[in-house]
A and B are shown apart, each in its own frame.
Chain A
Amino acid sequence: MSDHAHPLDLNTDLVEALLVRFLRAEAGKFGFERMVLGLSGGIDSAVSAALAARAFGPANVLGVMMPYTTSSSASEADARTVAATLGIRLDKVEIGAMADGYLSMAPDADRLRRGNVMARCRMIVLYDRSVVERALVLGTSNKTELLLGYSTQFGDAACALNPLGDLYKHQVVQLARHLGLPRVVIDKPPTADLFEGQTDEGELGFSYAQADAILHALVDERRTLEEVVGLGHARPLVERIAARMAANQYKRQPPLVAKLGERTVTHDFRYLRDWGR
């Protein structure tokens, strides 16, 4: 498949310019020029790191590897390759003791709960490091993930700025190539690396290519479910993805505030975050 054959293909020069502009402007308004992010060895964090390195200079980006005791050593090796390629600073914080401190008191925790605890431990580390670094926490959730709700609320989804949130997985891969990231990171199957042998596509039960195409048709092109089925997608899959998108809307919103007065935070107290900046 050629680079320009896919309907989701982007003008990567333009996207890079827009995202670098976004990062500089939004960090600058709040007096920040440094970023800290979790570097997993996967493609999403690699692309976020690369964009931050271009926006602020590699010396102003800190990638933090945060392996749990069961995390794959290959992930760490890939994270080191990414950091070396970009020239960003790299640190390692083992979250084993931290996560097990709690998990030892929750022996019945299943995979999902354990994975969420790990993701939230990493969030705690990043937000703490961001204070020391005088940096903002940089997000790594792409649009496919956000729409599917395939992330841990207040865990890996927590950040100050997210340059990837309007890019489908396919587009993240395209941008990764454009940014010259290592092939090993681009080509390997995406994984949350919360347990051995886990892959995103294995866990989701469908491929990112399928999810991207269906979500793009529903969300961006505003096609009806029937129309998306008409494009050649299996009805059960389209229904499943649409249901998943709706069911996870809560993850994409601030907590609900019960309305009592005339002007209520999150309802009709309408100011941008950039208020006065």
Chain B
Amino acid sequence: MTRIVLAQIEPALGDLRRNLALHEAEVAAARASDAQLVVFPELSLTGYFLKDLVAEVALATGEGPLARLAELSRDITIAAGFAERARDGRVYNTLGLFEDGRMVGAHRKVHLVTYGMFDEARDFAPGERFRAIDSKLGRFGVLVCEDMWHLDGMWLHFLAGVDAILACSASPARGARAGEAQPRSQRTWTTIQDAAAVLTQSHVVYCNRVGCEDGIVFGGGSRVVGPDGVEVARLDGLEPGRLACELDASLVRRVRTITPLRRDEKPQLVLRDLRALEDAEEA
């Protein structure tokens, strides 16, 4: 059993100092509750609709707030979001995993969202790979927001045999039709989380933010689904909150024993078909 806490926070827009303090408080609370892992939302250190602020809040590996998160991770694993400035100047929407005093892995958001109210590809460079991150708590597949809306990331993490998918977002609440209890956006998220859990036979740990940026209200709804597709825990409402629960490794093993999806997966077939598709397009 892995004891985790989801920190459904309300980051301030472009204020690294305040957001770092928020992380420190959440980590302290998680540690006090004896959690082993605390998960924050997408861009938790910076806020979301950054636009030109991206250049001002982007952090190089080991810089100030990231060094502090590493320091805080000596006795608890931390997953937190930030704008990452790479050596070559590109800035990524990154989720880092901090453990034992250092950043042990990071995922750069691959599927930047650039439609409707979103303009990420204007401000960020896209990540170029999905790689599982090995932690002392298990193998994690990180997906940032829109990464969850595509099959590729969760499929590659499934092939890599992750124990849990850490899905972090900054998703606004949209749609409030009569007869529907939740915003349309949140119901879609729930469908995706359930499907991802069932199809990858992993825990799906979904941490969304709350709060408001220029009239856009983030929907919260942080949630954990088991590898059997059954909801483990969730947070309702639009307020900041902490969601504590356990990830059951035994359940992952048993689900995969009963229904051996990974054994029957055919990645080589997909590889051949993708190559054939590419050849056909080039012809």
B282 at the A interface (CB under 8 A) = no
Contact (Cβ within 8 A) A17 B238: yes
Contact (Cβ within 8 A) A276 B182: no
B181 at the A interface (CB under 8 A) = yes
Contact (Cβ within 8 A) B212 A21: yes
B113 at the A interface (CB under 8 A) = no
Within 8 A of B (CB), among A28-67: none
Task: Tell me how far the C-beta of B32 lies from the nearest C-beta in chain A, rounded to whole angstroms.
Answer: 27
Contact (Cβ within 8 A) A18 B176: yes
Known: A275-B13, A276-B14. A18 touches B173 (CB 8 A): yes
A15 at the B interface (CB under 8 A) = yes
Known: A25-B217, A274-B214. A3 touches B238 (CB 8 A): no
Contact of B178 among A10, A17, A25, A276 (CB under 8 A): A10
Q: How far is the CA of A22 from the CA of B214 in the complex (A)?
A: 9
Contact (Cβ within 8 A) A22 B178: no
Contact of B212 among A14, A15, A26 (CB under 8 A): A26
Residue of B nearest to A23 (CB): B212
B254 at the A interface (CB under 8 A) = no
Chain A residues with Cβ below 8 Å from B178 are: 3-4, 9-12
Residue of B nearest to A272 (CB): B214
Within 8 A of A (CB), among B173-218: 173, 176-183, 211-215, 217
Residue of B nearest to A3 (CB): B178
Chain B residues with Cβ below 8 Å from A275 are: 13-14, 53
Contact (Cβ within 8 A) A271 B51: yes
Chain B residues with Cβ below 8 Å from A276 are: 12-15
Task: Tell me how far the C-beta of B241 lies from the nearest C-beta in chain A, rounded to whole angstroms.
Answer: 13
B52 at the A interface (CB under 8 A) = yes
Residue of B nearest to A174 (CB): B178
Contact (Cβ within 8 A) A270 B52: yes
A111 at the B interface (CB under 8 A) = no
Known: A15-B176, A18-B217, A18-B238. A25 touches B212 (CB 8 A): yes
Contact (Cβ within 8 A) B217 A271: no
Q: How far is the CA of A152 from the CA of B183 in the complex (A)?
A: 33
Chain A residues with Cβ below 8 Å from B182 are: 14
Taken residue by residue from 133 to 164, chain A's Cβ proximity to chain B (1 for < 8 Å, 0 otherwise) reads as 00000000000000000000000000001000
A277 at the B interface (CB under 8 A) = yes
Chain A residues with Cβ below 8 Å from B124 are: none
Interface of B is mostly: loop
Q: How far is the CA of A161 from the CA of B217 in the complex (A)?
A: 14
Q: How far is the CA of A271 from the CA of B176 in the complex (A)?
A: 28
Chain B residues with Cβ below 8 Å from A22 are: 212, 215, 217
Residue of B nearest to A17 (CB): B238
How many A-B pairs have beta carbons closer than 8 Å: the answer is 69
Contact of B49 among A21, A25, A272 (CB under 8 A): A272
Number of interface residues of B (CB under 8 A): 26
| Interface range on chain A (Cβ under 8 Å from partner) | 20 to 34
Q: How far is the CA of A184 from the CA of B115 in the complex (A)?
A: 43
Chain B residues with Cβ below 8 Å from A3 are: 178
Contact of B52 among A15, A271, A273, A277 (CB under 8 A): A271
Chain A residues with Cβ below 8 Å from B211 are: 25
Q: How far is the CA of A269 from the CA of B53 in the complex (A)?
A: 10
Chain A residues with Cβ below 8 Å from B14 are: 275-276
Chain A residues with Cβ below 8 Å from B238 are: 17-18, 21
Contact (Cβ within 8 A) A272 B180: no
Q: How far is the CA of A213 from the CA of B144 in the complex (A)?
A: 37
Residue of A nearest to B211 (CB): A25
Chain B residues with Cβ below 8 Å from A14 are: 176, 181-183
Q: How far is the CA of A17 from the CA of B219 in the complex (A)?
A: 11
Q: How far is the CA of A160 from the CA of B237 in the complex (A)?
A: 26
Q: How far is the CA of A25 from the CA of B182 in the complex (A)?
A: 20
Residue of A nearest to B172 (CB): A18
Residue of B nearest to A263 (CB): B52
Residue of B nearest to A165 (CB): B215
Q: How far is the CA of A133 from the CA of B212 in the complex (A)?
A: 24
Q: How far is the CA of A165 from the CA of B76 in the complex (A)?
A: 44
Q: Would you give 14 A-B contacts (Cβ < 8 Å), ordered by A?
A: A3-B178, A4-B178, A4-B179, A10-B177, A11-B177, A11-B179, A22-B212, A25-B211, A25-B217, A270-B52, A273-B214, A274-B213, A276-B15, A277-B12
Contacts A15-B176, A276-B12 supplied; 12 other A-B pairs, CB < 8 Å: A9-B179, A10-B176, A11-B179, A12-B178, A18-B217, A22-B217, A26-B215, A161-B215, A272-B51, A274-B49, A276-B13, A277-B15
